[in-house]
């Protein structure tokens, strides 16, 4: 793990790259709102997206207490250097998505707008993170390059079209993205913590594909 030392404080480089990617994603969403809503930025949506991301990071970080309590008991400072791993990340993503949709509904934000803003922010953050990781880290570079280029391509396609992404298109992109992640996980041999043939990460993407197919043409998002 590559670490950046700032005085007496050390931070993992991948966390720093993730933080930069999140900031870039929020900037992208602000620009998208500005141009798509004719200069009117809904501060409620920006605050909700920011709070959702913060909640997700908090859960991912402190899920280590849930998944490896013995490590925390032996060394409480482990929370500064470790996260809940892939299990914690999946938990964080799931809770963040549920929180975002629940709060957005309470704010009376239209369903299609909720879906599109969440999708664009996720892909903007993913594109930034995978590209930065490919450049600065030497971990699974092929996967990061491939996923980074794919997510950047989706963002570029949206910018070129300059129109609202349809519900069908959003879930189609999610299905393809999940399929690519599954394929790369098999190539890279990511089969830790198997549960009925697949790893927890692979089950997550399988679940995402199933949910995307189910909601691909549902009227509930119209």
Domains in the chain: boundaries: 43-108
* CB crowding 8-31: b at 16 or more within 10 Å, else e: eeeebebbbbbeebbebbbebbee
Q: Is the dihedral of CA 170, 171, 173, 178 positive or negative?
A: positive
- State which H helix or E strand residue 194 sits in: strand 194-195
For the entire predicted model, the pTM comes to 0.85
Q: State the 10-residue block means of pLDDT for the chain, 222 residues long.
A: 66 83 89 70 80 90 87 79 79 91 86 85 91 86 88 82 75 93 82 71 91 83 58
> What's the gap between Cα 93 and its chain centre?
7
């Amino acid at each position: 793990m590559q670490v950046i030392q700032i005085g007496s404080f050390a931070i993992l480089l991948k966390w720093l790259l993730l933080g930069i990617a999140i900031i870039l994603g929020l900037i992208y969403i602000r620009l998208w709102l500005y141009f798509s809503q004719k200069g009117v930025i809904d501060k409620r949506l920006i605050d909700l997206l920011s709070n959702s991301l913060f909640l997700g990071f908090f859960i991912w970080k402190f899920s280590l207490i849930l998944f490896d309590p013995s490590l925390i008991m032996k060394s409480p400072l482990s929370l500064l250097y470790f996260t809940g791993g892939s299990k914690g990340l999946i938990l964080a993503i799931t809770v963040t998505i549920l929180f975002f949709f629940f709060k957005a509904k309470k704010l009376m934000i239209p369903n299609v707008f909720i879906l599109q803003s969440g999708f664009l922010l996720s892909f903007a953050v993913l594109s930034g993170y995978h590209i930065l990781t490919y450049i600065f880290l030497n971990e699974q570079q092929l996967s990061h390059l491939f996923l980074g280029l794919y997510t950047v391509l989706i963002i570029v396609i949206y910018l070129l079209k300059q129109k609202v992404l349809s519900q069908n298109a959003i879930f189609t992109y999610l299905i393809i993205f999940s399929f690519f992640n599954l394929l790369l996980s098999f190539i890279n041999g990511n089969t830790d913590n198997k549960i009925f043939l697949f790893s927890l990460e692979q089950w997550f993407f399988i679940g995402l594909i199933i949910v995307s197919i189910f909601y691909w043409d549902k009227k509930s998002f119209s």
